[in-house]
Structure 1
Amino acid sequence: MPSPVQRPSSAIPSQCDVLVVGGGINGAGIARDLAGRGLKVVLCEKDDLAQATSSSSTKLIHGGLRYLEYNEFSLVRKALAEREVLLRSAPHIMWPLRFVMPHDPGMRPVWMIRIGLFLYDHLARREVLPGSRTVDLRRHPSGAPLQPRFTKGFVYSDGWVDDARLVALNAIDAMERGATVLTRWRCRDAQRSADAWQVTLDSASGAFHTLNARALVNAAGPWAAQFLSEHAHLSHPKALRLVKGSHIVVPRLFDHGHAYIFQNPDKRIIFAIPYEHDFTLIGTTDVEHHGPIGAARIDESEIDYLCEQASRYFAKPIAKSDVVWTYSGVRPLLDDESGDPSAVTRDYSLELDTAQAPLLTVWGGKITTFRKLAEDAADLLMQPLGVDAARGAWTHGAFLPGGDLNKWIGPARRPDTDFERFEQTVRRRYPQFDAAVLHRLARAYGSRIDRVIGDTPGAQVAPGLYDCELRYLHDHEWARGADDVLWRRSKLGLHYSAEERAAVAAWCAEHWDGAAVTPTPETSWN
């Protein structure tokens, strides 16, 4: 299997069809789609894959129920249609999740909620996800953690995703289809001519490389406008609105498997979601961000807001002292001049400029629609690149790496039950492993778990983390330091003590060139 071990600059292609700038979900998805159509693709990312916005989402594959109130029917339909496509493509990192909305008579009336849920159930075809229904919270398990004043609730379906791993899997698939994926390589300068882009790349280690690309894709997310003006030397008519979304993680608040959607007096909503077995994830906020894009941190007022709004519903109030971890990301939203950040559209816009060598810029977007965005982007580039139209869309029914469980369980039936059968098979094959460790490995790597474990797991570096997995992450998933392992390729950092995190960092420093001695995550913990 090809290995993405960081290449010396001499091994990077000097020419390609398309250079994709940005290693978030949209950039990785576009690189994958284009590589699958036979194009020669280079993806460059100045940091780690998914280091910014794409690892800081609420981690949902969802249509966006609240967007119906803003008449975003096209976006909701598109996102709803993508849910089951994505669930089938990677049942190890995505799975169905049922949401409970307790009815608060002071918020939206029952008739409005029922109309909204009816539309949510019927705007797109469903085969796996069950429809919505009304429940008696005095009898339903989801009512137990709530204040007794909530007696009626509404239950509907969406999905959960490990967002950072979704990016990594797209990058792996792109690489295995022929793309060159460069992490810690920045697009320093891009000069445009009639038929090509001459690009200068520089690496974190100080190396430089010059590359000629027939087309350039700007998938820099929150940095998209900045990239155009500062690196591609172009003006841009569109404006991005940068909105910070922050989340808090607290010890587990409930034992059942449902998530909650809570309506707030300010007409916003927040989610409370089962997270990493031992925790509950609460978010998100919508706050205008005016500082450095890569330095987004949660504010005290955001922590107060999330604790206060969740405490309006849970019987046990949530205090700041309960927060064990936080993370924040900056959403690059299209500026539609809405006064309320929550009302700004989450849809995407693709801007193709063919005045000279093609330039495609991605504006906005949400994680649920990344595959469709990538497909649309690739479609737009076919004609200006003079590519045979027969090289058409292909990702709709394709698996992501690790998602094809056929060799373990036989033909696929439905993604949720397929994964259950797969995990049972894994436990039989590796009886020497703890069940919790196998569950994590099965979720992270799916059908490629045997490639991770190999012939022997090696030494245990920290609880449940073995030498074999660390080597796999370095050799096949671009991990270069403890943060990459503990906070993006996994969330083990949330479970480990400071001493255990330091042990992982020390191992990385010993075995990997340039690894940090101590973990310095972009997120924070108490």
Structure 2
Amino acid sequence: MSSIHEVSSVSGSAAPYDLLVVGGGINGCGIARDAAGRGAKVLLVEQDDLASHTSSASTKLIHGGLRYLEYYEFRLVREALMERERLLKIAPHIIWPMRFVLPHSKMLRPAWLLRTGLFLYDHLCPNMTLPRTKALNLRSAPAGRSLRSDYVRGFEYSDGWVQDSRLVVLNAMDAVRVGATVKTRTRLVKAVRAAQGWTATIEDTVTGEQSTVEAKAVVNAAGPWVAELLQDRLNVPSRNRVRLVKGSHIVVPRVFEGSQAYIFQNPDKRIVFAIPYEQDFTLIGTTDVPWEQDPAHVEISQDEITYLCESVNRYFTKTVRPEDVVWTYAGVRPLYDDNSGNASAVTRDYVLDVDATSAPILSVFGGKITTFRKLAEHAVEKLAPHLPVLRKAGWTDGTPLPGGEFAPTDFDSQLQRFRAYAPHLSERSSWRLLRNYGLRAYDIATPDSDRMGRMFGKTLSAREVDYLIDNEWARSAEDILWRRSRLGLFVTDADRADLQTYVESRLQASPSSVSDPGPVTRQNVA
């Protein structure tokens, strides 16, 4: 297991950074990775944990956005479908194909319209590797067994699943691999602009300690805080606006059998997904609700829970009730404000706003998790005229994320090898470790059970916890259970409290050894 140490000193005397990235969501981490890999000296700061807001509150899909075709977003869908293919190749451990069943309702969109949309969905992406759409007789197809008898026809098409918060963390890890510095629990207090660069004050949100850094350019990837950051902390006017839309999800005990997911049409023309989740559960979402409150404190409403239950109850034979809900999560999407009257119709495309009237700043408005890599590439290209170090060629489209150094079709054979390496692990635990960490699972598991350490619940070992603290910026039980290991639904309150105590004691015992994940050596990836 690699050790962790301080990557670089952050102080007023340090050499200037080429790029200061504000925001540790998927866009900020993607931009930091791309820029560092081209040779830039990058510092990323995140006021909370990585992926602690919007990027861990998605529907966890890598998809083109079938419904966006209704709004004529052909370029966005095409780009997303092409990115789906790339991401399946560079992160085959945390992203994998999934089939989606779309029942046809006579009361909603006509069958010919669904067929046309799915035909476009299959053909907008050149060199598509996933299985194409096929029509289903829901009375005979296995996927129809969970559906009410009045749904006779349907379609089945392909998209992808993603461990969303892990995608963020892996981008941050790879950014560090190629030379970036990533600091969580670090808030940008303010930044002052001059002709040659920025002077920024940053604050450790745990200790309150402040320090000063200099950067030639700034990337504002603050997500829901993008406008507030520009106005209040950077003093930069912007012609673009962000529109905050809340999306909420519920998780219930498994509603249907099989590995397929479902996409349901609602009378209000919205769609809702029902997706297998962590083997024992079904994930149902999402909603689209305008949000004008603090994006740091967002929760699902009772009306949204009722809406999601009613949405799936129109289709499933098994009734889902609000009292069945075992977990909920909600996040605020910072969408580019295109003046759409309907929250569901607001574009999921992104706008990159570069202000180079003095030292450059690039602000990210909008975006979706599927297109983060392309967004990052575009962002770096927009900054390249102002930062010569960024003029090297792009490199992220074919470079695997940490742990994903195997072919997408090779997962099952990799799982067999891993099970042979650590035979004491159950089949389920082996699958989870390889799905979350890929080949890095060998840094966690040991050939015998004795060296795995104490257990927090049935499957979370001290060795995995140590790995997450040392390599993935985990600083609390919440970081580990909900954004790293995905085991939040499988531990008791007592297990959670024991884990928090363990993490705190580990951090207090050796605070300097966990300050920044390494390694620090820059690798030539251009």
TM class, shorter-chain normalised? over 0.9
**Structure 2: distance between partners of 1:388 and 1:229:** 27
Whole-Å Cα distance in 2 between the matches of residues 266 and 514 of structure 1?
55
1:346 aligns with: 348
The answer to whether residue 486 in structure 2 is matched with residue 491 in structure 1 is: yes
Aligned-pair distance for 1:509?
2.5
Structure 1 match to 2:432 = 440
Q: Does 1:185 align with 2:186?
A: yes
Cα displacement string for residues 101-152 of structure 1 (whole angstroms, at most 9, x for unaligned residues): 0110111101100000000000012442110010111111111111111111
Q: Structure 1 CA distance, aligned partners of 2:482 and 2:129?
A: 30
Describe the shift of the 1:257–1:72 C-alpha distance in structure 2 as closer, same or farther (beyond 3 A): same
Q: Secondary structure at the match of 1:373?
A: helix
Q: How does 1:46-61 map to 2 (within 5 A)?
A: 46-61=47-62
Partner Cα distance (2:383, 2:390) in 1:
11
Instruction: Report deviation, 1:303.
Output: 0.4
Alignment of 1:371-450 (within 5 A): 371-387=373-389, 389=391, 391-405=392-406, 412=407, 415=408, 417-450=409-442
Instruction: Note if contact 2:220-2:362 (Cα within 8 Å) is conserved in structure 1.
Output: yes
Q: Which residue of 2 aligns with 1:257?
A: 259
User: Partners in 2 of 1:8 and 1:397 — Cα distance?
Assistant: 31
Alignment-derived partner of residue 363 in structure 2: 361
Question: CA separation in 1, counterparts of 2:154 and 2:6?
Answer: 50
Please give the alpha-carbon distance, in whole angstroms, between the structure 2 residues aligned to 1:172 and 1:155: 36
Distance 2:421 2:485 in 1: 23
Task: Give CA deviations for 1:433-454 in whole Å, capped at 9, x if unaligned.
Answer: 1221111111111011111235
Q: Percent identity?
A: 53
User: How far does residue 459 in structure 1 lie from its aligned partner after superposition?
Assistant: 2.0
Q: Which structure 2 segments of 5+ residues have no match?
A: 511-526
Structure 2 distance, partners of 1:285, 1:194, is: 44
CA contact (8 A) 2:98 2:158 kept: yes
Report if aligned partners of 1:4, 1:476 keep a CA contact under 8 Å in 2: no
> C-alpha distance in 2, partners of 1:403/1:4?
24
The equivalences for 1:145-184 within 5 A come to 145-184=146-185
Q: 1:13 to 1:476 in 2, by over 3 A?
A: farther
SS at match of 2:151: coil
What is the match of residue 74 of structure 1? 75
**What is the rounded CA distance, in whole Å, between the counterparts of 2:147 and 2:390 in structure 1?**
58
How many Å separate the matches in 1 of 2:9 and 2:491?
34
Q: Does 1:101 align with 2:102?
A: yes
Cα distance 1:464–1:234, how it changes in 2: closer, same or farther (>3 A)?
same
Q: Which one-letter code corresponds to 1:82 in the other structure?
A: E
Is the Cα–Cα contact under 8 Å of residues 27 and 221 in structure 2 kept in the other structure?
yes
Aligned residue number for residue 274 of structure 1: 276
Q: Secondary structure at the match of 2:373?
A: helix
Supply the distance in 2 between the matched residues of 1:383 and 1:454 (Cα, whole angstroms): 49
- In structure 1, how many angstroms separate the alpha carbons of the residues matched to 2:232 and 2:127? 45
Quote how far apart the aligned CAs of 1:8 are.
7.4
- Tell me the CA shift for residue 387 of structure 1: 2.8
Say whether the 8 Å CA contact 1:2–1:176 is kept in structure 2: no
- Judged with a 3 Å threshold, the aligned counterparts in structure 2 of structure 1 residues 509 and 278 are, in CA distance, closer, same or farther, namely same
The reply to whether residue 502 of structure 1 matches residue 494 of structure 2 is: no
Displacement of 1:324 in angstroms is: 0.5
Aligned CA distance change for structure 1 residues 139 and 238 (closer, same or farther; 3 Å): same
Corresponding residue SS for 1:139: coil
Residue 467 of structure 2 is matched in structure 1 by 472
Counterpart of 1:279, as a letter, is: F
Change (3 A) 1:4 1:283: farther
- Determine the structure 1 residue equivalent to 2:521: none
Counterpart in the other structure of 2:506: 511
Residues 187 and 98 (structure 1), Cα distance of their counterparts in 2 relative to 1, 3 Å cut: same
Give the conservation status (yes or no) of the 8 Å contact 1:9–1:208. no
Structure 2 SS opposite 1:186:
strand
1:9 Cα shift? 5.1
Answering whether residue 197 of structure 2 is matched by residue 196 of structure 1, we say yes
**What amino acid maps onto 2:150 in structure 1?**
R
Change (3 A) 1:317 1:7: farther
Matched residue, 1:462? 457
1:283 correspondence with 2:285: yes
Aligned equivalents of 1:10, 1:465: Cα separation in 2: 37
Report the counterpart of residue 240 of structure 1 in structure 2.
242
- Contact in 1 for aligned 2:255/2:282 (Cα 8 Å): yes
Q: Residue in 2 aligned with 1:210?
A: 212
CA contact (8 A) 1:28 1:167 kept: yes
Q: Structure 1: how far apart are the matches of 2:5 and 2:332?
A: 28
1:5, distance to aligned residue in structure 2 (A): 6.3
Query: Are 1:31 and 1:174, in contact at CA under 8 Å, matched by a contact in 2?
Result: yes
Kept in 2: contact 1:187–1:199 (CA 8 A): yes
Query: Following superposition of structure 1 onto structure 2, how do residues 15-164 of structure 1 map, counting pairs within 5 Å?
Result: 15-164=16-165
Specify whether residues 195 and 11 from structure 1 end up closer, same or farther in structure 2 by C-alpha distance, changes over 3 A only: closer
**In 2, Cα distance between equivalents of 1:377 and 1:222:** 18
Distance (Å, rounded) in 2 between the aligned partners of 1:235 and 1:436: 52
Runs (5+) with no aligned partner, structure 1: 406-411, 516-526
CA distance, structure 2, for counterparts of residue 32 and residue 440 of structure 1: 26
Distance 1:308 1:166 in 2: 31
Task: Find the aligned partners of 1:375 and 1:12 in 2 and give their Cα distance.
Answer: 31
What is the rounded CA distance, in whole Å, between the counterparts of 2:430 and 2:389 in structure 1? 44
Distance 2:90 2:136 in 1: 31
Q: Give me the whole-angstrom Cα distance separating, in 2, the residues matched to 1:47 and 1:512.
A: 17
Residue type of the alignment partner of 2:458: P
> What is the CA distance between 1:461 and its match in structure 2?
2.7
Kindly tell me: are residues 441 and 12 of structure 1, through their superposed partners in 2, closer, same or farther at Cα, counting changes over 3 Å?
Answer: farther
1:293 is matched with which residue? 295
2:304 aligned partner? 302
Aligned partners of 1:44 and 1:185 also within 8 Å: yes
Q: In the TM superposition, what is the alpha-carbon distance from 1:396 to its structure 2 partner?
A: 0.8
Cα distance between partner residues in 1 of 2:400 and 2:72:
33
CA distance in 1, matches of 2:219, 2:11: 23
- Partner SS for 1:294: coil
Secondary structure of 1:174 counterpart? helix
Structure 1 CA distance for aligned equivalents of residues 291 and 210 of structure 2 = 32
Using the size of structure 1 for normalisation, the TM-score is 0.93
Distance 1:513 1:378, change over 3 A: same
Alignment root-mean-square deviation, CA: 1.7
Distance in structure 1 (CA, Å) of the matches to 2:436 and 2:27: 20
SS state at 1:425 partner: helix
1:335, 1:70 → 2: CA distance? 15
CA contact (8 A) 2:21 2:220 kept: yes
Deviation at 1:513, TM superposition (A): 3.5
Q: Tell me if the contact between 1:5 and 1:475 (Cα under 8 Å) persists in the aligned partners.
A: no
Give the 3 Å change call, closer, same or farther, for CA 12–403 of structure 1 in structure 2. Answer: farther
Alignment CA distance shift 1:489-1:33 (3 Å): same
* 485 and 68 in structure 1: CA distance in 2 versus 1, 3 angstrom threshold: same
- In structure 1, the residue matched to 2:443 is 451
Whether contact under 8 Å (2:38, 2:390) holds in the other structure is no
